[in-house]
Structure 1
């Protein structure tokens, strides 16, 4: 039996076109990049050494892409506490440099109720100049309570 058929309240389930409010992250200082490199194992000098970044034409080391991707989960939890991410993918369009910040927004592209409540979201992370840094997609489902 589906949740809708079981009488679960779905009247507040998001509709197509609903926006996901802006959530800001950063600025990402050098200390953040070093800590992320340590815990993730991504110690590529491009992210940590200004001279290496300059050698490839960047004004400063870029923030790790996966560090920025990790910001989508808390942004979505800020929007709705009753969802869980099932799939998240992103395309990196522009680098965000050390000491920069990102703003995450999005919208509901598809919403279904059957066989279980699920949303397909288009997500965007904008850099400090308003440039689109990451274009992402997520599939989220309604967080179901643990059975007792």
Structure 2
């Protein structure tokens, strides 16, 4: 059974650079064909400086960070608030810490920073011991 401790830190995970090819592969797999993610000109027309990595791809990276750090844990919920876009070609680092523990499991607050260290997204993952 997975034990959770308030304040427990998530081992930081760095991912990237997130290439245009990786974003294109995600777009194909997810069906998210929004042109701002794969076409820099479309992103500029939308008022962005560069094509942004899809938000759901960033959420998938957050999920991956928790899963790698805590292999005996199931994630039953994952909410995210996007604060700033992450440009295609940039890297991200995901960190976190457990902020709540109860009889059912724990809540881990997650922080996703872009390559410059700016906070791009915050999230919360609800964690429970994985069922064998």
Question: Smaller-chain TM-score range?
Answer: over 0.9
1:77-96 to 2 correspondence within 5 Å? Answer: 77-96=67-86
Where in structure 2 are the equivalents of 1:108-127 lying within 5 Å?
Answer: 108-112=98-102, 114=103, 116=104, 118-127=105-114
- TM-score normalised by length of structure 1: 0.84
Q: How does 1:1-148 map onto structure 2 within 5 Å?
A: 13-112=3-102, 114=103, 116=104, 118-145=105-132
CA positional deviation for 1:144 = 2.1
Distance 2:67 2:59 in 1: 14
Distance 2:62 2:29 in 1: 19
Where do 5+ consecutive residues of structure 1 fail to align? 1-8
In the alignment, the residues of structure 2 paired with residue 81 and residue 48 of structure 1 have an alpha-carbon distance, to the nearest angstrom, of 33
Higher relative contact order (CA 8 A, sep 6+): 2
Q: Which runs of 4+ in 1 moved over 4 A?
A: none
User: Structure 2 stretches of 5 or more lacking a match?
Assistant: none
What TM-score results when the alignment is normalised by the length of structure 2?
Answer: 0.93
Structure (1 or 2) with the greater helix fraction: 2
Question: Offset of 1:14 from its aligned partner?
Answer: 2.4
Tell me the number of residue pairs that the alignment of Structure 1 and Structure 2 aligns. Answer: 132
Give RMSD over aligned pairs.
Answer: 1.3
1:58 is displaced (CA, Å) by 2.4
Structure whose alpha-carbon radius of gyration is higher: 1
Residue 111 (structure 1) shift: 1.2
